[in-house]
Structure 1
């Protein structure tokens, strides 16, 4: 058995999202077919609890828009240039002895992640992008902010065309990881519905203040 969360946008109240976790039979293995089985099992568990319509946001989604919303598929505009979102996240990292690494913004996401894994620069101390420093806390704030910033220009299309009860990322294990693209997308939906998206994209501190602690 495994337990994984579904992230649900909220339209009112202090929290941007509501998280509900569901247990299901886990299909082990690294094959894509096994991961897709887990998506189906998680969504079926959510459906039994009343969440009829759930979108998987990852490269393992069986819906094209779910795959396109994966952080590995998105690109972010920086000073007129488009870069892979995941590569910008990795290249923004600042360690005790090195960083940031804007030279890897153009790398493919897996190459950027490998570059960061292989350096020996001490502990992560923050992030830096466009000469501005960003803190490590809230833990998911910088990643989520980059994600919603990448999609903000498509917010009207998203509001009109993507309407699900909740969002999942089968690769996300809350016991081992902090960043989750499904959570970030649910936050975007909530901010858009509350007419706060523009302010959140333009002001990192405001966005961070809207997040629940992890």
Structure 2
């Protein structure tokens, strides 16, 4: 057995995303087929949640092309300040600032896999913040910078975003709240909530607007569940 969170856009309440952790059968092994069996088991468990119909796995392990395309490894965007396109993963990793170095902006030109494995991310000391396109982001609130990057990329991919209305919940089989903070499935759920509320443009007008919008609402981050609800500020 294993436990993983399911992220549910909240379209009416004060919270933007509901997070519910479920137990399900885990299929051991590193192969894609084993991961996808675990995804299927998690989604079967999610269907027991009232109001949950279609669930999308957001990762390279997804059985659906949309879910794989929405992986931070694959979701790319063009940035006017940087002058070139890059993946969400490269943008996130290359923007990290540590006590002993960073941001390592050459990571922006790497593949997503190379970016995540860059040795400097492990030997440069404590993470102190982020610096992307000359905008500095603090570590708190914890998922704000990652969510901003992801949502900023997705809002320019109408071909992907327009398909999300078919789904009522999102998962990432690789995400464990005990090991990680940021989660692409949570970011997708947050995007859907903002979009369905017609608040997407207002909330993403600028980094400051994004922080102010989220700061005014109770938010359950990717590594919290409904029993440990917190606030961004």
TM-score band (shorter)?
A: over 0.9
Q: Report the TM-score, using the length of structure 1 for normalisation.
A: 0.92
Name the CA shift for 1:46/1:113 in 2 (closer, same or farther; >3 Å): same
List runs of 5+ in structure 2 lacking aligned partners. Answer: 222-233
Tell me the equivalent position of 2:209. Answer: 206
CA distance in 1 between counterparts of 2:159 and 2:204 reads 15
Q: What is the aligned partner in structure 2 of residue 57 from structure 1?
A: 58
How large is the Cα RMSD of the aligned pairs? 1.8
Aligned to 1:4: 4
Q: Deviations over 1:45-88 (max 9, x none)?
A: 11133422101111111111111111110112212421121011
Which of the residues 96, 99, 103 maps onto 2:102? 99
Counterparts of 1:115-134 in structure 2, within 5 Å, are 115-116=118-119, 120-134=123-137
- 1:154-208: per-residue Cα shift (whole Å, max 9, x none)? 3586246642110001010112111110100000011111122112222223323
Please, which moves more after superposition, 195-204 or 71-80? 195-204
Moved more, 180-189 or 15-24: 15-24
Sort the Cα spacing of 1:66 and 1:160 in 2 relative to 1 into closer, same or farther, 3 A. closer
Correspondence 1:1-214 to 2 at 5 A = 1-50=1-50, 51-79=52-80, 80-116=83-119, 120-155=123-158, 158-159=161-162, 162-209=165-212, 210=214, 212=219, 214=221
Please give the TM-score of this superposition, normalised by the length of structure 2: 0.85
Give 3-state SS (helix, strand or coil) of 2:78's partner: strand
Figure out how many residues of one structure are paired with residues of the other and give that number: 214
- Provide the rounded CA distance (Å) in 1 between the counterparts of 2:193 and 2:163: 14
CA distance 1:13–1:203, shift in 2 (3 Å): farther
